[in-house]
Structure 1
Amino acid sequence: MSNFFKRLFKGKDKKKDPNRVLSRAEMYDVYTEEIIKRVCNPNSNCLDIGAHAGEILDIILRHAPKGTHYGFEPIPTFFENLVKKYRKKKNCRFFDLALSDQKGTATFNYVVTNPAYSGLNKRSYPSENENINLIEVKTDLLDNVLPPDYRVDIIKIDVEGGELAVLKGAVKTLKKYKPVIVFEHGLGAAEFYGTTPEMVYELLENCGLKLFTLQGWLNGGSALSQEEHRRIFNTNEEYYFVAAVNNGSSWPEKN
């Protein structure tokens, strides 16, 4: 067992209640932080797509304080809060747009009662009575937005089902730099965009990237086959994945 998992199962995140079992979402947060920590050096460049309140960007800044980081957040109030929160961070830049595979404008479903579920398309929600505001947002391709000489090391994508369009709009960047990508891709969201696991798998494969579960990547495990990915997606066994050239054993663990 890696030092990371030893620390995790000792309950480093359960100080307030040592007997509490971490939820799957909380486990994904812990795994994501460890992946960022392992991949990044102080000068790494990172993208936070679906930046929300900056929770992941805070982690990125701890492990890559000298890199240049871009955050993407289409909800106006959240975008404004990000700009204000990081106004002293000259290495952070924010874009008030929804990344996609088309440039233009689109109607965006802002879930006021559960902002984390907001997205370009409606999806499955925790409640039938969610308060949803329809807002117009700008859309663009990641390949259009990034400077031509910007080397990206790690990308986090959390766009509530719209991940395939984000990846389609980033193919040039993915093929050129082959960054590590931590992304949400699960039932209850992806199918509302007509996305299948095969579509995501094949796009990433064509970019020279392999697919892993978060825990599998951290453990140095084998890449998922297309059939394994399909099964995991369809059974909702996992809804977060890592795309990378190699598993986590290629990056040394850090204390």
Structure 2
Amino acid sequence: MIKLVKSLVPKSLKKFIKREILQTSYVNKPTYNASLIKDEFTLDCTIAYNKYGGYCTPFSAQQESVVQEILKGNVYEPETIQYIIDNCGTGDVVQAGAYFGDFLPGIAKHISNKAQVWTFEPSSEYYRCAEITMRINNLNNVNLFQVGLGEEKADVQLQIETEDGKRLGGASRIINSKKGKFVPITIETLDSMIPEDRNISVVQLDLEGFEIPALKGAINSIKRCKPILILEILSHNDILANDWFKENILSLGYEITGKVHNNTIVKIKHN
């Protein structure tokens, strides 16, 4: 009976309904309700959309500005995403951390046909959200790994909640403390995760202060490909004050060329 009723709806009417729904932005007004089931195995999330595609946003981080922008149908850091699209050429893009995949649809849908995105998210909750974001958008050119990036392979603890119970969301971090809630994660080097035959054109890192260790573990790939580096935490002064960065990155011919959103752009100087 259901199949019969569906068949009676003209295709023109289906298109009209779909167009009207999109124009009235109903798809961008998800219900802000947590699931009724509360346990560590049940993923609590809300699906939302913007011009680049759909996203599985974690309910635990719903008050964060990143999630709020997506729930409103907006793009978070649109300038950063557009900069990556405009400057990646025919090469691959490294994007870390993935979080719930807020950068993935915008980047993956606008890179070269033969290029790939390599992205990393150590948190189990956000990894699952990013995986669903990929499925919603059918992103077959994205390689997602449930690991963090660092100087060497290691098993460490990731703080996801402060001592007073505040969820850190995208600000989850590796710190030397026993206060708060921690989960075990695996750290890998970027050099060990990406095949040497891949050409990397852009490396964008938002790792909550863990950018330098991640760059140390990517030094062979950086020397080989000379990609543009987009670094969230490192300011101009941070870079100039860091001896390792000066000796291993700036010495390769890199220079600071500007900022996009809160990211410092470092790229090979052209004579």
Cα distance change of structure 1 residues 196 and 185 upon mapping to structure 2, 3 Å threshold: farther
Deviation sequence 1:210-243 (CA, Å, 0-9, x none): 222225xxxxxxxxxxxxxxxxxxxxxx952111
Aligned length: 188
- Unpaired stretches in structure 2, ≥5 consecutive residues: 1-73
Per the alignment, residue 141 of structure 2 pairs with 91
Residue matched to 1:61:
108
What residue in structure 2 maps to residue 105 of structure 1? 155
> TM-score w.r.t. structure 1 length?
0.65
Q: 1:143 aligns with which of 164, 188, 191?
A: 191
Do 2:149 and 2:189's aligned partners in 1 also have CA atoms closer than 8 Å? yes
8 Å Cα contact 1:68/1:92 also seen in 2: yes
- Mapped contact 1:174–1:207 kept (Cα < 8 A): no
- In the TM superposition, residue 33 of structure 1 has moved relative to its aligned partner by 2.5
RMSD of aligned Cα (Å):
3.1
1:206 aligns with 2:251: yes
**Structure 1 equivalent of residue 200 of structure 2:** 152
Identity of aligned residues (%): 20
Closer, same or farther: CA 132–52 of 1 in aligned 2, 3 Å:
farther
Alpha-carbon distance, 1:96 to partner:
0.6
The one-letter code sitting in structure 2 at the alignment partner of 1:61 is: A
CA contact (8 A) 2:105 2:139 kept: no
**CA deviation after TM superposition for structure 1 residue 180, in Å:** 0.8
Question: Radius of gyration: which is bigger?
Answer: 2
Greater share of residues in strand: 2
**How far 1:110 sits from its partner (Å)?**
1.6
SS in 1 for 2:77: helix
TM-score for both structures, normalised by structure 2: 0.61
Higher relative contact order (CA 8 A, sep 6+): 1
| CA positional deviation for 1:186 | 4.4
* Counterpart position of 1:115: 169
Pair 1:40–1:186, CA change in 2 (3 A): closer
Matches within 5 A, 1:192-203: 196-203=241-248
1:124-203 pair list within 5 angstroms: 132-186=180-234, 196-203=241-248
* Matched AA of 2:106: I
Q: Distance in 1 between matches of 2:107 and 2:176?
A: 29
Moved more, 144-153 or 164-173: 144-153
Distance 1:56 1:144 in 2: 23
- Match of residue 220 from structure 1: none
Separation (CA, whole Å) in 2 of partners of 1:135 and 1:186: 26
